[in-house]
Structure 1
Amino acid sequence: MSLTASVATAALAGSLLAGLPPSVGAPAEPAPRAERAPALEVRTVAKGLANPWDVQQAPGGRLLVSERDRARISVVRNGRRRTLADLSKLVWVSGETGLMSLAVDAAHRRVYACHGSSKGGNHVQVTRWRVDRKWKRLSGRRTMITGLPSTSGRHGGCRLLLQRQGPGLVIGTGDAAVGTNPRDLDSLGGKTLRIDRRTGAPMPDNPFAGGTGNRRYVWTYGHRNVQGLAQRADGTLWSVEQGSYRDDEVNLLVPGGDYGWNPVPGYDESVPMTDQALPGEQQDARWSSGESTLATSGGAWVSGRQWGDLDGTLAVAALKASEVIFLAFTDDGALAQVTRPEELTGFGRLRSITAARNGDLLVTTDNGSDDRVLRVSPR
């Protein structure tokens, strides 16, 4: 079976939306590294940054970069950086929370950001702006969703993904280190959420859309700290999640799925990342780090024949392990191969990874000073 995802059928799409899904089964053991992975060229396209959380493409060869603690959005073009917006008066910064993920709707010149806020108490929210034609100024600020929990700043999430079809905006959140949040459907913490990017309303096909309160926004629940989101060519949604002292995870997201994180009473991190002793069905990870965590963060699907055996893999950035791992999955989501290119080591902590339009990968380092945006190309 090809490792590159095929187009999802209407029947599959219907089955994914038909109620609470069964467990997807345990992940396969990683296979040896691929032997025909291409050599990689790594170039620095921006430097002098501090904790860049995300990088996204904008029109005209521009890159948008967010810096967590500086609360600054920059435009990078031809190796030069300029400030698009200083959001330090808007963004609450504490620990892991600050200015985090970005999403760019180029067709409508809109920029979305996930960030901390202290208005009405510390929390995380998603804000949208309109950009002028020269990408020099933001205006028309609008809050899309608010109240994502973040008390101390620990486990604030927060990853954004614009779905390719329809108006869906997917949001991955952290549990705020509060044990009851992940399985409480009326808490927005420890979840993936879907909203209408135009209005901020819950998407009408969300699995709990017929309910009341916050559960209307919920796509999946039972997560610890969602750091990455990626949509495969077949339309399926995948998350990258940080584990406790064990078991970073890559998950295939199925609507209404419970991913099994329930660290109660208190915040007991000795419990399994996916606790199969809980009531109901829990979704097992499609890849897990096992006992030694990598501190996985952003993820992006790799596309293009120039990538050889890495075409169709999920590239995942790792903070603690300071590497990028490429995970190959079969069409039905079983792990088939793990590749760790040496060219992507030696840069320190790696936070975000984004697929560029030409197939290159854009990667941010997160070392705290003199951080960079890297462009990775197969030779």
Structure 2
Amino acid sequence: MPAPSREAPRSTRRTLLRGAAVAPVAALLAACESSAPSSAPTPTAGGSAGTAGPSDVRRGPGAARTLATGIDVPWSIVFLPDGDALVSSRDTGRILRVAGDGRTQVVTTVPGVVSNVDQGGEGGLLGLALHPRFASDPWVYAYHSTSTDNRVVRMRYRDGRLDRPRLVLDGIRTSVHHNGGGLAFGPDGHLFVSTGDAESSASAQDRSSPNGKILRVTDTGGTPGGNPFRNPVWSYGHRNVEGLAFDGRGQLWASEFGDQATDELNRIERGGDYGWPAVEGADGPGGYRDPLATWDTDACSPSGIAVLHGRAWLGALRGECVYSVVLRGADRGRIRRYVEGHGRIRAVAAAPDGSLWVGTSNRDGRGTPRSGDDRILRVTFP
């Protein structure tokens, strides 16, 4: 039977996990190799950490202000050069432009998007990213589910609209649950893509499969030099990474759903094995990369992630808050919770003006929607 979704975690103890059905090899790789401290468990310390700017753990965000309402399951938020944002709507396949005053406009509907929302599904239109040279190469990248796979496409942005999708990457196995979907361009100009194990846990350790991985590809989908396995795989042993973000030092961070034990914030390294399905958290046998911070699965379910003010900010679906985690210094790994009282939180993005934009996820089939949901919140810092 498929494993239960970890977007709605169950309460269990920490444990080692072993045993899974063998996953098929995907065609993609077959030809090439509150401001009070949270009640979460003490975070693990896993390696050195980076930062996007000065860190002041005493400074927390102010109250969240509603910016836009009536958005159907916002999954990802990225910012245009003028400060407006593009927001993906998971179940409708729409990409909306959201202005700083809250006005919204549909800029495209991505064809072929399948969300399986009637089955409690987690697929659909997921992550977005802008080309790093957007001013001269105005491409918008999108990760989405279809009836046959998960894929990455790109669309040219012009005159306030997005044109037809061009394929960048396909053949990532899809399932009702565990579809991943994070996108982020690195400082090297290459695109990093997070994929889920698609409910076949053994695929996470199969380096010829794109599932259960973080992939690194060129802006057109090729395999760049410097990858550890001569294919798109950058790191492996992941269950379901939905959030990717780089800090100001070029370090990649990822938010990952655990299964029966531990949700994680991981520092992603080239060729790293993050342990799934053998272990969750940092208490397994040697050879795996340990997370910087962990939570019991009832306390978090981390999805979107941003790096701002020396901290990672993670949207928590089950935790119904935004967690911050200090990334360096004496307080490295310290967790606090903010942005409470709005229900399930998924999307988190650092805006050009130094604020955070946060998307609720109360209409995803697992929340308790209220009037105006879902909404985009803006969180400023004093």
Shared fold, TM over 0.5: yes
Residues paired across the two proteins, number: 315
User: CA shift at 1:61, angstroms?
Assistant: 3.0
Note if 1:376 corresponds to 2:360.
Answer: no
Q: Which residue of 2 aligns with 1:276?
A: 284
Matched, 1:114 2:140: no
- Asked if structure 1 preserves the Cα contact closer than 8 Å seen for 2:75 and 2:90, the reply is yes
Residue of structure 2 equivalent to 1:96: 122
Q: Structure 1 residues 292-301 or 168-177, which shifts more?
A: 292-301
Name which of 352, 356, 365 aligns with 2:360: 365
Alignment counterpart, residue 161 of structure 1, candidates 184, 199, 211: 184
**1:129 match:** 155
Does structure 2 conserve the Cα–Cα contact (< 8 Å) formed by 1:49 and 1:372? yes
1:172 Cα offset (Å): 0.8
SS across alignment from 2:63: strand
Matches within 5 A, 1:62-211: 62-77=84-99, 78-87=101-110, 89-94=111-116, 95-105=121-131, 106-107=134-135, 108-118=137-147, 122-132=148-158, 134-135=159-160, 137-151=161-175, 153-163=176-186, 165-197=187-219, 199-209=220-230
Flag the 1:261–1:359 CA change in 2: closer, same or farther, 3 A: same
- After superposition, give the CA deviation of every residue in 1:342-362 in whole Å (9 maximum; x if it has no partner): xx1011000011111111111
Report the alpha carbon displacement of residue 28 of structure 1 after superposing the two structures with TM: 3.9
Identity score, percent: 36
Structure 2 equivalent of residue 294 of structure 1: 300
Pairing 1:51–2:73 present? yes
1:208–1:75 distance in 2 versus 1, CA, 3 Å: same
CA deviation string 1:64-123 (max 9, x = no partner): 111111111111123211111122x421222100000111223221100000012xxx21
Q: CA RMSD in A?
A: 2.1
Q: Secondary structure in 2 aligned to 1:340?
A: strand
Q: Secondary structure in 2 aligned to 1:321?
A: coil
Aligned equivalents of 2:57 and 2:354: distance in 1?
Answer: 21
User: Is contact 1:260-1:274 (8 Å) kept?
Assistant: no
TM-score, normalised relative to structure 1: 0.78
Q: d(CA) in 2 for partners of 1:115 and 1:74?
A: 15
SS of 1:156's partner is coil
Match of 1:330 among 303, 328, 331: 328
TM-score by length of 2: 0.78
AA aligned opposite 2:321: E
Question: Contact 1:247–1:293 (CA<8 Å) still a contact in 2?
Answer: no
Unaligned runs of 5+ in 2: 1-42, 47-55, 364-368
Shift in alpha-carbon separation, 1:331–1:172, aligned structure 2, 3 A: farther
- Per-residue CA shift, 1:188-232, capped at 9, x if unaligned? 1110000111x21012111112xxxxxx00000000000111111
1:50–1:367 contact (8 Å) kept in structure 2: no
- Cα distance in structure 2, aligned partners of 1:83 and 1:272: 40
Query: Which segments of 5 or more consecutive residues in structure 1 lack a partner in the other structure?
Result: 1-25, 210-215, 264-270, 303-310
Q: In structure 2, how many angstroms separate the alpha carbons of the residues matched to 1:290 and 1:227? A: 18
Mapped partners of 2:238, 2:88: distance in 1: 24
Contact 1:193 1:217 in 2 (8 A): yes
CA distance in 2, matches of 1:148, 1:312: 33
Separation of aligned partners in 2, 1:235 and 1:350: 26
1:27 and 2:44 correspond: yes
Aligned equivalent of 2:344: 349
Q: CA deviation at 1:284?
A: 1.0
- 1:36 positional shift: 2.6
The CA distance in 1 between the partners of 2:281 and 2:204, in whole Å, is 11
Pair 1:174–1:293, CA change in 2 (3 A): farther
What secondary structure does 2:201 align onto?
coil
